[in-house]
Chains A and B, each alone.
Chain A
Amino acid sequence: MGKRSLAFNKELAAKILFALSASAAIIAVGLICVFLFVQGLPAIWNIGVINFLTGTVWQPTWNPPLYGILPMIVGSLYVMAGAILFGVPIGIFAAVFMAKFCPRPIYKVLKLAINLLAGIPSVVYGYFGMVILVPFVRENFGGNGNSILTASILLGMMILPTIISISESAIRAISSEIYEGAVALGASHERATFRVVLPAAKSGVMASIILGIGRAVGETMAVRMVAGNQAILRMPHEFLSGARTLTANVVLELGDAYGDHRAALIATGVVLFVFIMLINALFSMLKKKDGV
């Protein structure tokens, strides 16, 4: 074999290796999709789409069993909305502060703290929530502390690093010429920042929020540890009561579920999957609008 063909073979091998690695991700997504839909869709079909999605009672052990996941859909939405309520304003203000107001030494400390926050495993967040937040909410707001409110605060904290770091780079990416244009009209630093620079960065800020929401919806462990997990349809004013999210529903019961019950849990996963897909679609729509 000549030197040339050896080199050629090496190149080919490398190409195949790269292609395989790249397709691994696609194959993984594909497999998850197929698995979820093959196992989940028949269950949804059997229960009935309407019964499944709008049923308000989840009682797999009753005879006949009831598989309504509306309480979990609503639970997920509440916790998500709560996380947005806490995480988004704080995250955006923190990002503005870091990009436009922060003295350098403080910046370094903040950046470090935020990177750390991003790296903390969710079970540790959950533990923090159980030990600190649950008693805090119990003593200051009432209820037993395992509640929608607690989960919202905790998730709000968990999405902060995502929102802060992506928003901060979006704000930094706005050219200083625009800022100077505002200042040259007699605008103060604050006004130029909040009325010109921040709006100019809005698609990046929106992207950070959506990614944060994606994280909030998919989060399982920490939420499960502080949310109370009752599969009961809650009204908005019951934010001090517990609720169960879609993710918690799966993880709580999958261990000892068989037959229809198991299929209904996988179907819960399907709904969650569709949720996340919608959020991602929203994200890429925004990105496209921005022309990135």
Chain B
Amino acid sequence: MAKTNKFSLKNVDLWYNNFQALKNINMNIPSNEITAFIGPSGCGKSTLIKSMNRMNDLVEGCKITGSIMLDDESIHGHIDVNALRKRVGMVFQKPNPFPMSIFDNIAYGPRTHGIKSKFKLNDIVEKSLRDAAIWDELKDRLKKSALSLSGGQQQRLCIARALSVQPDVLLMDEPTSALDPISTAKIEELVINLKKDYTIVIVTHNMQQAVRISDNTGFFLLGEMIEYGDTQQIFSAPSDKRTEDYITGRFG
């Protein structure tokens, strides 16, 4: 089966005012696979992932050039930015549930996109929570505040919330860095299961995590993409010295 590309980035440069945070990024992100971004702090991983759903638009003084195509359509072209973000969901580093009930957290997205029927919303909430593997834990407390959940539960709730608008892509920026090992394992398992329906891009500082779950890995350094390819390949036989130094921990 030939790989289809969900995203394809060409000559992407990005500036925060005068500071260039991304330098000539070229990469294809295959559909229904997990792609991991690794690299030292400040190398531009978050910046890159945020340019894929244009969250960088919110940053004053941020300028981007080059092309980012989603299913062969430019995300900077005719597409409405809200429609783009519906298709390209995002899970943040720190769980950020809304201070409202669990049900309303999940229903917010579908309501935003015009679904009013209580019946449909019930359905979506259940399906999203099931897909995020947290339905059994939460089904009896949907009316409770989302803030009463543990950090790990909150993060899975946020994943469910992202799934509620039926995106094609899930961008995850260090989704487990604030969580304990058990919650992390649950989320990793969940992410692997989600692969069949979604294209997933995940930023991680955890090499083992990248090895365990991802199909492709990109290594970044100071705004440049140093190496990108099959995860096994990158971790067993990196072609660039800097990649090797980083994954073997010999790096600042």
Q: Which A residues contact B (CB, under 8 angstroms)?
A: 175, 177-178, 180-188, 191, 195-196, 199-200
Contact = CB atoms under 8 A, between A and B. Distances in A.
B55 A199 contact: no
A181 B85 contact: no
B98 to A, nearest CB: 5
B109 A200 contact: no
Contact of B90 (A178, A184, A191, A199): A184
7 contacts: A177-B94, A180-B55, A184-B55, A184-B90, A186-B84, A186-B86, A200-B98
A14 B144 CA distance: 51
B89 A185 contact: yes
B58 A182 contact: no
Contacts of A186: 82-86, 109, 112-113, 165
Contacts of A181: 92, 96-98, 158, 161
B99 interface: yes
A179 B137 CA distance: 26
Given A177-B94, A177-B96, A183 B108 contact: no
B156 to A, nearest CB: 14
Given A180-B55, A181-B161, 9 more contacts: A178-B98, A181-B92, A184-B90, A185-B112, A187-B108, A187-B112, A191-B112, A195-B108, A200-B99
Contacts of B214: none
B100 interface: yes
Interface of B: 53, 55, 58, 82-86, 89-90, 92, 94, 96-100, 108-109, 112-113, 158, 161-162, 164-165
Contacts of A199: 99-100
B230 to A, nearest CB: 29
Contacts of B165: 185-186
A205 to B, nearest CB: 13
Ordered nearest first, which 3 A-B pairs have the shortest CB separation? A186-B86, A185-B109, A184-B90
A183 B55 contact: yes
A267 to B, nearest CB: 44
Residue picked from A178, A185, A195, A196, most chain B C-beta under 10 Å: A185
A178 B161 CA distance: 13
Nearest to B111: A195
A199 B112 CA distance: 15
A200 B100 CA distance: 8
B153 to A, nearest CB: 16
B92 A182 contact: no
Given A200-B98, A200-B99, A182 B108 contact: yes
Contacts of A184: 53, 55, 85, 89-90, 92, 162
A130 B112 CA distance: 47
A235 to B, nearest CB: 40
Given A177-B96, A183-B58, A196 B108 contact: yes
Nearest to A202: B99
B41 to A, nearest CB: 19
A91 B164 CA distance: 34
Nearest to B86: A186
A99 B86 CA distance: 26
A180 B98 contact: no
Contacts of B94: 177
A181 B159 CA distance: 11
Contacts of B58: 180, 183
Contacts of A187: 82, 108-109, 112
Nearest to A185: B109
A101 B226 CA distance: 40
A195 B98 CA distance: 10
Nearest to B91: A184
A200 B94 CA distance: 18
A185 B84 CA distance: 9
A196 B96 CA distance: 12
Contacts of A175: 96
A219 B58 CA distance: 43
Given A184-B55, A186-B109, A178 B85 contact: no
A196 B98 contact: yes
A181 B58 CA distance: 12
Given A184-B53, A185-B109, A196-B108, A178 B83 contact: no
